[in-house]
Amino acid sequence: MTEPTTPQIIDAAAEQAKVNLLGMSHNELRQQLKAMGEKPFRAEQILKWIHHEGMTDFDLMTNISKPLRAKLKQCAEIRPPQIVSQETSKDGTRKWVMRTDGDGLIETVFIPEDGRGTLCVSSQVGCSLDCSFCSTGKQGFQRDLTAAEIIGQIWLAIKSFDGFKAGSGRSVTNVVFMGMGEPLLNFDNVLSAMNLMMDDLGYGISKRRVTLSTSGVVPALEKLIGKTDVSLAISLHAPNDELRSQLVPINKKYPIKVLLDTVHRYMDDLQYKKRVVTIEYTLISNVNDRPEHAYELAQLLKNTPCKINLIPFNPFAMSDYKKVSNKALDKFRKILQNDGYVTTVRTTRGDDIDAACGQLVGDVKDKTKRAARHRAARGMETEQVVKIVQ
């Protein structure tokens, strides 16, 4: 006689085996349906239900046959990360803490502005790099996010603003990969997510409104050439190798000249030749904010079609750096502008909810032991560093 099987064990195994459709591209979903013995054209219908209607329940996908819905329920799911907390700043900035598989926490930030809404998404749980001025880097690194977890951040943000309802205005118009993680160290998943963002069956966001920001992973940036034409931002933060290597350690492996040469090749490959790269420069008091740094930066970038975005450093617990003074910031900006550079200053948004640039942290099951080393060096306990709602 066959021993009865515990129903809960069957359900758990089935749940683990399910494929998450949230991050699947059009072609991947077509292949999935074909493997199920279904017509590939059904992929278009399913994608619209997921990304245009915000649907997670297969039973409510009314233009799909009942047999196919039954199949999908058995082997697939539409599952975004879990929202742990949501905070809204006094300036309208909204921040979510989201739980991913493996029990890591990431943060996603929405910044409303006149005529647009920018979503800052994370690409890793923690960060593979350790830039000295960034709170995320101090938390160490757990793992890369899947394409579904990256797309899930957009899906949840739109849902948060009732953006899937008929007649709703588009809440998310721009996406920037400037949250937790180094995007180019999660190459395949980030590329898949960006393509889905720009796909009309996904979110239909213009390639000029999707921005990938990198600290300079040169081989991956080289690999990106010809595969996408999203906007590019470079986290430079210093005008010379000696200073940049202190602030952005990956510079020791890929120095500024090598990085900028690769940036030029990426930009030259774009069809629209008038596009420019954004140079991000975090200004830190008495570190990289002096007039001589501004003059050196202007000279460094003279052959690079770019705009420069100055970012005042946002203090956090595990750093001794100080915020740049308004006087030093204004002088730095004027030097660049007088040399002909389009120069903007990133307005600090959401700092009252720790959502400003460089302040994002998560609950990272750190594989690198980096977070423990940073805490030990400062004699700090974990709870003094990470302020997350559990």
Please give the torsion angle defined by the CA atoms of residues 11, 85, 380 and 102, in that order, rounded to the nearest 10 degrees: 20
Q: Which of 120, 127, 134, 357 is catalytic?
A: 357
Q: Which of 107, 149, 182, 280 is catalytic?
A: 107
C-alpha to C-alpha distance for 56 and 78, rounded to whole angstroms: 5
Is there a catalytic annotation at residue 381?
no
- Residues with Cβ within 8 Å of 198's Cβ and at least 6 positions away in sequence, in order, are 204, 205, 206, 207, 210, 230
Q: Which amino acid is at 20?
A: N
182 near 249, Cβ under 8 Å?
no
What letter would DSSP give residue 390? -
103 near 113, Cβ under 8 Å?
no
- Residues with Cβ within 8 Å of 266's Cβ and at least 6 positions away in sequence, in order, are 221, 224, 225, 232, 277
Is there a catalytic annotation at residue 107?
yes
Among residues 92, 89, 39, 95, the alpha carbon closest in space to that of 64 is found at 39
What letter would DSSP give residue 304? S
Query: In terms of C-beta density within 10 A (0-12 exposed, 13-18 middle, 19 or more buried), how is residue 88 classed?
Result: middle
Do the bridges between strand 82-88 and strand 94-99 make them parallel or antiparallel, or are there none, so unpaired?
antiparallel
Beta strand residue intervals within 230-313, DSSP E: 231-235, 277-283, 306-312
321 near 133, Cβ under 8 Å?
yes
- 3-state SS of the chain: helix, strand, coil percent to 5? 40, 20, 40
C-alpha to C-alpha distance for 67 and 89, rounded to whole angstroms: 46
Catalytic residues: 107, 357
